[in-house]
Chains A and B, each alone.
Chain A
Amino acid sequence: MGASGTPARSLGLVETQRVVLFTEDNPLVLDSGETLAPVEVAYETYGERSASDNNVVVICHALTGDANAAGHHGDPAHPGWWDTLIGPGKPVDTDRLFVVSSNLLGGCQGTTGPSSINPATGTPYGLQFPLFTVSDLVKVQRALLAHLGITHILAAVGGSLGGMQVLQWALDYPDEVDHGIVVCATSRLSAQNIAFSAVARAAIMNDLDFADGDYYATGKGPDHGLSVARMMAHITYLSEESMRQKFGRRIQDREEPRFDLGVDFQVESYLQHQGKVFLDRFDANSYLYLTRVMDYFDLFADAELVRSQLAKVKTKFLVLSFDSDWRFDTSHSRGIVRTLTAHRVPVTFREISSPHGHDSFLLDVPEYHKTVSAYLDHALAETV
């Protein structure tokens, strides 16, 4: 049951749209000063805009997400990555909200990234693609909204890297976002977080088929490295408890172990499968760039700047963490709460109990969904 009291349903069939937001004449100016054009963005929208445009919700995706947050592209068994949260009668209730979800800059699911054609060479950018920041991700999302004629948003919502964008939205555009919902995110990665990124990148870049990032024309790619990166990352998304419950020490497809060096345990088989299916949907260079964006993100690094930025912020926040998440554990969320509260930015914070680790934000955790429902319910009621 969603916030509106109607039974939760699926959005059904949805479609990704594309638009070129920056051109040679009007390039995207990155934080670094470099320019990028053209920049095309893949996006989806759900629900109806209210007459006064006061019901706009922006969804910011995590490391490997895409524009298809909810609904499906033809197979109802494979809905978007946040279909648990977004839809008619769901916490982000598309019966009442107008939802905009886009693929990130640097991604590989329809928005311009390292696998796009570099107009200067006629071949994919590869590692010629410029480095960018979370601010740049937000800049592109904001340009998409401008294209849609939207200048003010009721709420920005995101988990993990998505939550980092929500925070950046508020700091960069302090009077354009009424509410920010930041789920299992961080204001900066810890040494351990960066270490995981480093190993993932090493797996990709040390793959013999990486070819310095110019693998697109070779017919091969750093598949081995990318799948290892994904396998490792996947471990950090689950909790020890959820792995124990899901796999234990069970053997794949038989009772007795094979006693060999191949894939024997169920958990091995699962990770191998996760690594393999990832290859079909993700580009290794995008993985390098987007993990790097996260490593360098340090939102509250400059105390003086933060003071002046947060003094202007009109956004109210809901910050949520999960007690079994060790990728960005609750101390990361508490750090965000501490800084926002110290600067008098209104924050509501909950640590939600869930056994599913970092992945909890994608799952139907009832207390989590109740919280988002109640928060957005009040946010929407305030506007009328």
Chain B
Amino acid sequence: MRADLDVIASLVPVGSRVLDLGCGDGSLLGELIRRGADGLGVEISDEGVLACLQRGVPVLQDDIDKGLDDLEDDSFDIVIMSLTLQAVHHPALVLREMNRVGRKSIISFPNFAHWRLRAQLAASGRMPVSPLLPYTWYETPNIRLCSIKDFEALAHAEGFTVEERILINEGGAREGAVTQRAANLLAAGAVYLLSR
């Protein structure tokens, strides 16, 4: 499992009803279900959905940018969206929908204000490429890049409270060495546990 998914899994209490937006091949959900969660994924790609089927992970093939009309208010304990926020067209709508259907949300994303990306842009004058953002500008699915500061402003505007923030390094693992105060400069990404 991807390192950031381990961090996310550690935030999910056993027995939770979990929704995973952009669940990909269902590896996180499969693991959470194995640990006793009741899980549902939403995934847009054919390959991802077929992989979920092969794991026996329940999944709705859908476009989260169109909202979550098939899901009721408060129907999940936790809604997860890992490294997907930067690839949606309507991040504010998606956050609002997460807040509506789930009591808590877990969101991870790459921090575009990380010093290494700033340095790349400053030094080379070209769009940065990193382990968390590995695509060139012309083929990247990552169209809504934001910094930690940007995200917190939007989360606040959408009525979320930050319960916990875990900084991650370029490998997606927990970043131990960075102080929370300098997060926007020094962390490659972050995992947030949000409540209303």
Contacts and interface: CB of A to CB of B under 8 A. Distances in A.
Interface of A: 316, 318, 334, 337-338, 341-342, 344, 346-351, 367, 370-371, 374-375, 377-379, 382
Contact of B60 (A337, A342, A344, A382): A337
Contacts of A377: 54
Contact of A341 (B49, B53, B71): B71
A346 B58 contact: yes
B57 to A, nearest CB: 8
Contacts, number: 57
Contacts of A375: 53
A258 to B, nearest CB: 47
Interface of B: 17, 38, 40, 46, 49-50, 52-56, 58-62, 69-72, 75
Contacts of A338: 69-72
Nearest to B55: A378
B147 to A, nearest CB: 35
B50 A349 contact: no
Contact of A316 (B17, B50, B58, B72): B58
A349 B49 CA distance: 9
Contacts of B55: 378
Nearest to B73: A342
Contact of A370 (B50, B56, B75): B50
Contact of B50 (A318, A341, A342, A371): A371
Nearest first, the 3 closest Cβ-Cβ pairs linking A and B are A374-B53, A346-B58, A378-B56
A346 B53 contact: no
Given A337-B70, A375-B53, A378-B55, A350 B61 contact: yes
8 contacts: A341-B40, A341-B70, A344-B17, A348-B58, A349-B61, A367-B46, A371-B50, A378-B53
Given A338-B71, A338-B72, A341-B75, 9 more contacts: A334-B70, A342-B72, A349-B59, A370-B50, A371-B49, A374-B50, A374-B53, A378-B55, A382-B56
Contact of B53 (A334, A337, A351, A371): A371
A375 B17 CA distance: 22
B38 A344 contact: yes
Contact of A348 (B38, B59, B71): B59
B61 A342 contact: no
Contacts of A350: 49, 61
A324 to B, nearest CB: 16
Contacts of B17: 344
Contacts of A382: 56
A334 B71 CA distance: 10
A344 B75 CA distance: 8
Most buried by B among A316, A347, A382: A347
A107 B62 CA distance: 38
A338 B67 CA distance: 14
A331 B32 CA distance: 30
B53 A342 contact: no
A186 to B, nearest CB: 15
